[in-house]
Amino acid sequence: MWDVAVVGGGPAGAAAARLLASWGHSVLVLTREVDRRRGLAESLPPSSRKLLAAIGALAAVEQAGFGRGIGNAVWWGDREAQLEPYGGGARGFQLFRPELDALLQQLAVDAGATVVRGATVTRVAPDGDGSHLHYGTATGARTARARFVLDASGRAGVVGRPVRRYESAFRMQALIGVWQRPGGWRLPDESYTIIETCEDGWAWSIPVAADIRHLVVMVDGTVSQVPRGRTLDATYLTALARSRQLEGLRAGATLLHTWACDASVYSSSAYAGPSHLLVGDAGACIDPLSSFGVKKALASAWVAAIAVHTAMSDAARRAASLDFFAAREREMFLAHLRQSRDYAREAFARHAHPFWGQRAAVVVPDGHDTPDEAGLARAADVQQAFARLRGAAPGPLSAGNLAYDTMPLIRGREIVLEPALRIPGVTSPMRYFAGVDLLRTADIARGGHDVPGLYEAYSHAVAPVPLPAFLHSVSLLVARGLLTMQPRPATPHV
């Protein structure tokens, strides 16, 4: 009986396996052999560094010799490129996915996990106190038992496929060409990710070596008017010719090979069961337009590992931990879907085609698990309170009507239930807003500080935070009656 069996050895599966093994759990990873000819170029933004550090992989990734990523060159319906370098000299990574997968799998092995390559999982059958996994290898059929199963099998969805829900407006296919151009690519910076809208689709390119780039065209077979050629190469070249920048980029380059895959967007009606979690793309796949696919997989793995570790350590927190993971996955998917819808609206203003129109018209439901911080910050009452706080000499603050509740939070490698505040107009309890601890802010306000004094006291008692974030957090508490602002006594005339 393994503690955890992980189905899939991609970024999500390997990262979760490494964490759980390093925390003392017995972990089995079952993964298929990688077909490098169908390996994809990937871009990891600089913000991925924090997640890589959290799973203990940052140093290894930095030393692996992956290409640097310093920004994007974007033609979003425009003839002129918008160069978007990462701020502050930050760097991400441009890499070939099979190489990242192999590195993360080795890190999982180093942490104590057992990785079985060339394994095809055919069935996962719950059996009361865990699950039976049936899988095949080159030497025959095998079975294993585990207390928890993490389905990290991506689009295969070994466990998750029955609860999968596709976004009908975001059905897509990726037509991928691997190109080689001796001497480089004649770009403003050859490390850039290139993104370009077309009339009825979009295209992107990422380097995997100094002379090799993937040039990819995203189409929807139901609305994109791309004639199907006699071969995949012919269809791909016809689709590529509809772009401007990528079509021009291939001048002087040689097409090594092509392949295609489904790139449709989907989520799940349930991300957790009594003894399994759907991790990474097994649970939800976001629009590749975000360039956050691998980052999302790493984030999903991190939370999944913490949820499983908590559930196996404390039966009393099992349900709360699994629910916390599921809520985070739902909110992450909705946030990315909302972003893709907004990008589509911008593109539709320049390309009046159903490809963009149906995406621009998508209605994204409001999430109920995590408060919408951006929406709260824009609320009229919060804006009015913010203006008062920034006005001339606001008076001292004091605690108003505080209502308490509890909410799950990540602390270290566990999910714990901690006190939080009930905010009028917000469905779920809140502990943090803009990175500021609302509960501690309200407690410190009992001392009768004015705004500068409250900011200084919070910085000493909790942690220094940016002043604008602190002012927005205090504005929320004032607007919803949890803090009250006293009028400043008038200065007597002498």
Which tens digits make up the pLDDT trace of 348-398?
999 999 999 999 999 998 765 567 788 889 999 999 999 988 876 667 888
290 and 196, same structural domain? yes
Distance (Å, rounded) from C-alpha 488 to C-alpha 214? 63
State whether 129 and 197 are in the same domain.
yes
Residue 305 main-chain phi, psi, to 5 deg: -60, -40
Contacts of residue 151, Cβ cutoff 8 Å, sequence gap at least 6 = 7, 8, 124, 157, 158, 159, 160, 276, 277, 278, 279, 282, 283
Residue 432's pLDDT is: 94
- Report d(CA 120, CA 102) in Å as an integer: 17
**CA triple 46-47-51, angle to 5 deg:** 115
Q: Is 326 exposed, middle or buried (0-12, 13-18, 19+ CB in 10 A)?
A: buried
Does some domain include residue 491? Answer: no
Q: Which domain does 454 fall in, by range?
A: 373-485
Side-chain-side CA neighbours of residue 225 (13 Å): 6
Residue that is last in its domain, among 342, 363, 388? 342
Whether residue 362 is contained in a domain is answered as no
Residue 201: which region, alpha, beta or left (left: phi > 0; alpha: psi -120 to 50)?
left
245 and 138 co-located in one domain = yes
pLDDT of 366 reads 73
Residue 215 located in a structural domain: yes
In a domain, 70, yes or no: yes
405 beta partners: 420
The per-residue b/e assignment along 371-393, b for 16 or more CB within 10 angstroms, e otherwise, is bbbeebbebebbeebbebbeeee
If asked whether residues 118 and 166 sit together in one domain, one would say yes
* Domain closes at, from 289, 324, 342: 342
In terms of domains, do 11 and 114 share one?
yes
pLDDT given at position 358:
96
pLDDT of 255: 97
Q: Which residues of the chain have pLDDT under 50?
A: none
Report yes or no on 427 lying in a domain.
yes
- Say whether both 286 and 392 belong to one domain: no
In a domain, 111, yes or no: yes
Query: What amino acid is encoded at 315 in this protein?
Result: A
Check residue 490 and give its pLDDT: 57
Is 149 inside a domain boundary? yes
The DSSP line for 406-474 is: EEEEEETTEEEEEEEEPPTT-SS-BSEETTEEHHHHHHHGGG---HHHHHHHHHHHT----HHHHHHHH
Residue 365 placed within a domain:
no
What are the pLDDT digits (tens) for 248-291?
999 999 999 999 999 999 999 999 999 999 999 999 999 988 77
The CATH number of whichever domain residue 92 belongs to comes to 3.50.50.60
Asked whether residue 207 falls in the same domain as residue 326, the answer is yes
How far, in Å, CA of 60 to CA of 469, rounded? 34
Q: Are residues 133 and 264 in the same domain?
A: yes
Whether residues 142 and 285 fall in one domain:
yes
Q: Provide the pairing of β-strand 436-437 with 432-433.
A: antiparallel
Considering the domain architecture, whether residues 310 and 401 belong to the same structural domain is answered as no
Residues in the chain: 494
Mark which of 319, 342, 365 sits at the end of a domain: 342
Give the number of domains in the chain: 2
Does 239 lie in the same domain as 136? yes
131 and 191 assigned to the same domain: yes
